[in-house]
């Protein structure tokens, strides 16, 4: 199994194994080329595999223990599914002949796996394990990527295998039909107020450059989805306007446009339903044209569209490098975002799970040095620290900035330990506002302007205050706390250039 995976180009396994995975654990030492990274909670394994997949554009393995162990990884697989990240889960299960005994850890793994997996197989024999592995890897790598889950009973691990299976080429992205390109071009030409709405692979550099050519030529507004898998941003790249999170603001942004062309994104919907608000954010009566589905070859379709509308090859608008001044004074979302934009090194990877603290960073960093930006695609919190961990494994020469809300960070805080063990170059900024601030906003939106004591307590992370410096140090990560923008600038300036992980607690 491991040799088949290596032959297919898989290099990393994020593992939290148990007894049913012992034959695989023992096998790691017999195989060259497969790095095993121990995570102390399965949600770290799956979130790391998601982050790795977004940066490496190929799958890592996760190795987890039966249904309950897998279940701990579901939330971040949900994010991976929404990100269309390539991930291969390997779930050890009871021996085939032991399943019927219904031992304590036995459960219906397929039922648990189905909601987050595009491909699932239960292995039935060691003889087919290599082939099953090759197929799982090919399934995960099918453009743009998906979660593939392989359930491997322990006897299928310890029985002799039938050699190595050859790698199978994953499905390539579908080419977009020329008619779709012509239709989109026609609509853009006819429209007086068009918008081009990007998502998924369209937000990589090639797609963005083509989309910018289209927009310059046709006057279309360049918009992008709210929670992208990965955006290539900063100096030298075209900037997009991100669709706001709250539906009334999103509708306001889309309202002026009579035509919306979708590339790599589904038509945007509200994150949640609210009374008297619609599900779909593009107002009724607009012309909506799908240039490319998320599974299509989006970049090629955008280039074809740019050519079709007659945009010059060098017609993209690229952001000019311009850092904000180093902020001073009070620490708040604006100064936190400015500090990152002022100090981030070139080619940084920014993992953004900063929630209500994160907003200002995006606007101010469009002209910062070029960087990759990874978003919370599925809304399942606890994604940031693991995703940063996996991104750092995938891109060891790049600094990872893990811009992180406190409430969400508590979900998968174990990731810090793996960052320490693997000496990963991750700088975590914990935005400690001692609350589930978004829920306080949502309570207010729901008309509860004066929440009672119980409702307040359910959105409040104080009593006791969490001491992030102690938590980080307890898990082996160097940490400091800052209470002003000036102190953040000093500490961040140092942290970004120290090898290995570190953490800064922002007292907001």
The least CB distance from residue 407 to its own copies, in Å, is: 7
For residues 231 and 165, the answer to whether their CB atoms sit within 8 Å is no
Q: In what order do the strands lie in the sheet with 400-405?
A: 231-233, 371-374, 348-353, 400-405, 426-432, 502-507, 478-482
The least CB distance from residue 83 to its own copies, in Å, is: 10
Integer Cα distance of 396 and 424 in angstroms:
7
The least CB distance from residue 476 to its own copies, in Å, is: 3
Is 339 or 471 the residue whose CB approaches its own copies more closely? Answer: 471
The least CB distance from residue 75 to its own copies, in Å, is: 4
The DSSP bridge pattern shows strands 231-233 and 371-374 to be antiparallel
Whether omega before 464 lies within 30 degrees of 0, making that bond cis, reads yes
Is 335 or 408 the residue whose CB approaches its own copies more closely? Answer: 408
**Exposure string over 335-368, b if 16+ CB within 10 A, otherwise e:** bbbbbbbbbbeeebbbbbbbbbbbbbbbebbbbb
Is 114 or 313 the residue whose CB approaches its own copies more closely? Answer: 114
The least CB distance from residue 344 to its own copies, in Å, is: 27
Integer Cα distance of 76 and 39 in angstroms:
14
3-class secondary-structure state, position 2: helix
Integer Cα distance of 305 and 141 in angstroms:
26
Is 19 or 322 the residue whose CB approaches its own copies more closely? Answer: 19
Is 62 or 191 the residue whose CB approaches its own copies more closely? Answer: 62
Is 329 or 464 the residue whose CB approaches its own copies more closely? Answer: 464
Closest alpha carbon to 167 in 188, 141, 147:
141
The least CB distance from residue 126 to its own copies, in Å, is: 12
Q: Phi and psi for 404 in degrees, rounded to 5?
A: -135, 125
The least CB distance from residue 93 to its own copies, in Å, is: 10
CB atoms within 10 A of CB 469: 16
For residues 336 and 431, the answer to whether their CB atoms sit within 8 Å is yes
The least CB distance from residue 164 to its own copies, in Å, is: 19
Is 26 or 321 the residue whose CB approaches its own copies more closely? Answer: 26
CB atoms within 10 A of CB 271: 14
Sign of CA dihedral 282, 288, 293, 299: negative
Is 366 or 413 the residue whose CB approaches its own copies more closely? Answer: 413
123 to 118, 153, 414, 467: CA distances (angstroms): 16, 7, 30, 45
The least CB distance from residue 245 to its own copies, in Å, is: 11
Listing DSSP states for 448-496 in one string gives -SS--HHHHHTTB--SSPP-HHHHHHHTT-EEEEE-SHHHHHHHHHHHT
Is 104 or 499 the residue whose CB approaches its own copies more closely? Answer: 104
């Amino acid at each position: 199994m491991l040799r088949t995976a290596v032959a297919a180009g898989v290099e990393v396994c994020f593992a939290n194994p148990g007894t049913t995975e012992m034959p695989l654990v023992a096998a790691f030492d017999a195989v060259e080329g497969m790095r095993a990274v121990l995570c102390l909670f399965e949600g770290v394994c799956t979130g790391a595999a998601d982050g790795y997949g977004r940066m490496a554009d190929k799958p890592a393995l996760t190795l987890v223990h039966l249904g309950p162990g897998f279940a701990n990884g579901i939330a971040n697989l949900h994010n991976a599914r929404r990100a269309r990240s390539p991930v291969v889960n390997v779930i050890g299960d009871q021996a085939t002949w032991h399943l019927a005994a219904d031992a304590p850890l036995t459960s219906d793994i397929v039922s648990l796996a189905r909601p987050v997996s595009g491909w699932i197989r239960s292995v039935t024999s060691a003889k087919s394990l290599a082939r099953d592995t090759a197929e799982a890897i090919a399934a995960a790598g099918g453009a743009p990527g998906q979660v593939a889950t392989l359930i491997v009973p322990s006897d299928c691990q310890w029985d002799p295998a039938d050699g190595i299976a050859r790698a199978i080429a994953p499905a390539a992205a579908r080419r977009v039909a020329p008619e779709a390109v012509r239709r989109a071009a026609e609509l853009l030409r006819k429209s007086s107020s068009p918008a081009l709405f990007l998502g998924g692979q369209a937000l990589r550099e090639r797609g963005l450059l083509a989309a910018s050519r289209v927009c310059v030529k046709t006057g279309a507004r360049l918009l992008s989805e709210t929670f992208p898998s990965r955006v290539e941003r900063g100096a030298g790249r075209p900037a997009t306007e991100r669709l706001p999170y709250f539906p009334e603001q999103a509708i306001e942004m889309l309202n002026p446009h009579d035509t919306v062309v979708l590339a790599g994104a589904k038509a945007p919907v509200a994150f949640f339903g609210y009374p008297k608000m619609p599900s779909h954010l593009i107002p009724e009566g607009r012309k909506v044209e799908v240039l490319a589905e998320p599974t299509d070859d989006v970049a090629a379709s955008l280039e074809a569209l740019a050519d079709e509308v007659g945009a010059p090859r060098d017609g993209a608008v690229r952001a000019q490098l311009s850092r904000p001044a180093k902020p001073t004074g009070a620490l708040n979302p604006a100064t936190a975002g400015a500090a990152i934009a002022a100090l981030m090194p070139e080619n940084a990877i920014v993992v953004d799970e900063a929630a209500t603290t994160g907003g200002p960073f995006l606007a101010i960093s469009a002209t910062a040095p070029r960087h990759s930006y990874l978003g919370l695609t599925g809304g399942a919190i606890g994604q940031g620290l693991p995703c940063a961990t996996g991104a750092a494994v995938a891109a060891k020469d790049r600094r990872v900035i893990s811009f992180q809300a406190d409430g969400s960070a508590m979900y998968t805080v174990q990731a810090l330990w793996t960052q320490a063990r693997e000496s990963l170059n991750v700088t975590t900024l914990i935005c400690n506002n001692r609350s589930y601030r978004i829920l306080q906003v949502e309570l207010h939106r729901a008309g509860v302007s004066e929440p009672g004591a119980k409702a307040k307590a359910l959105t409040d992370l104080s009593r006791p205050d969490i001491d992030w410096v102690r938590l980080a140090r307890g898990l082996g990560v160097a940490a400091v706390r800052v209470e002003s923008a000036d102190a953040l600038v000093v500490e961040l300036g140092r942290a970004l250039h120290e090898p290995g992980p570190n953490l800064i607690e922002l007292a907001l």
